[in-house]
Structure 1
């Protein structure tokens, strides 16, 4: 039996502040199989996004263990985590996180260049074409609609052909028409690369498209 691509063993997350510790996640145990599509659902404040951040090493578990892509994330340095994400993960955020001073093409190409991919520009152009934005390659984020910015973010996340795609409310800032188109595209890109998709969403119709749904409540799996 193959090992899960992501595994959490009693993982917890406590954030420290001047007013005291705040427990965000409590003893989460969860395995995600390679190639699976998984939706994380639950009310606001239930810990969905925090759990996704643990899976990507963007937050470190303060208890328990998180393993992704065969690596114990708590044992990796920040630089090693960045290399792991850059080479093998694609992360899509609700608020796009494009660099405003770079064109669409440059936003997609820069992570590829950092990963040492020699044909970064050509690969970025091909991925923009795959998301229907070849005609926007020279435009800056401020010159694009929200849907076009999210398409650019999808191109950036999937251009390296990642094994794992993490998406945090990827349609949260879009209208229903744009959001539906983005999700069709995200599932198509995932299928093309055979990637695992883990997605935070409030949309139950969207969650129903995934192989499995995990519900969170008060930092625990419900």
Structure 2
């Protein structure tokens, strides 16, 4: 039996607020298999982004366990988590988090260089070309549109060939045409690299593209729908 890529068991997150402890997530249990695309939906404040952060080890669960690729993220220190993410995860935020003094090419290549990749710039060029920025890779973020900056962020996340791709409102700051383009690129990366994709979104059309849609409300799972792809690319169909 194939182990899930992500597995949460009774995971909870409680943070200290001005008025005392605040329960952000309450006993979340779920499993996500290799190659699946999962949309997290729900009203603002329901815990969607916090759940994504737990999956990426960017927030530490205060209860339960969070397993990624067989590793318990709740037992790792910050250095170990950073190394694990660098080798196994790509993260895309609503805010692009590009380094303003670096070109698009340097923004994508630098994390690869830090990871010891000798082909960092060649791989960065390939990923920027794949997201349609072959002619913009020597531009700085301030010289690029929001849609172009999000494409750079996607290329940076995909360049290490991560097993897990996490995206928090990836189309939230973009207009309709740019949002549609980013949506196509996200699922293209999933298909091209075989990554497991988990995304937070308020966009129904983006959630509708996912194999599974998990609703959250008040820090708890509030229902789930599953879909069957028309092709045979889902892990279940290949078994």
Q: Distance in 1 between matches of 2:65 and 2:28?
A: 9
Does 1:172 find its partner at 2:163?
A: no
SS in 2 for 1:134: coil
Moved beyond 3 Å, runs of 4+: none
Q: How much has 1:19 moved relative to structure 2? A: 2.4
Q: Distance in 2 between matches of 1:32 and 1:109?
A: 29
Q: Distance in 2 between matches of 1:146 and 1:191?
A: 24
Q: Distance in 1 between matches of 2:22 and 2:102?
A: 37
Deviations 1:98-133 (A, max 9, x none): 111111000000110111111101111111111110
Matched residue, 1:16 = 16
Deviations 1:156-176 (A, max 9, x none): 000011100000000000001
- In the superposition, the TM-score normalised over structure 1's length comes to 0.99
Matched residue, 2:83 = 83
Q: Distance in 2 between matches of 1:206 and 1:17?
A: 33
- In the superposition, the TM-score normalised over structure 2's length comes to 0.92
**Residue correspondences, number:** 222
Matched residue, 2:192 = 192
Q: How much has 1:18 moved relative to structure 2? A: 3.5
Matched residue, 1:208 = 208
Uncovered stretches (5+) of structure 2, i.e. residues with no partner: 223-239
Q: Distance in 2 between matches of 1:113 and 1:68?
A: 24
Uncovered stretches (5+) of structure 1, i.e. residues with no partner: none
Write the mapping of 1:1-222 to structure 2, written as runs, cut at 5 A: 1-222=1-222
Q: Distance in 1 between matches of 2:205 and 2:147?
A: 19
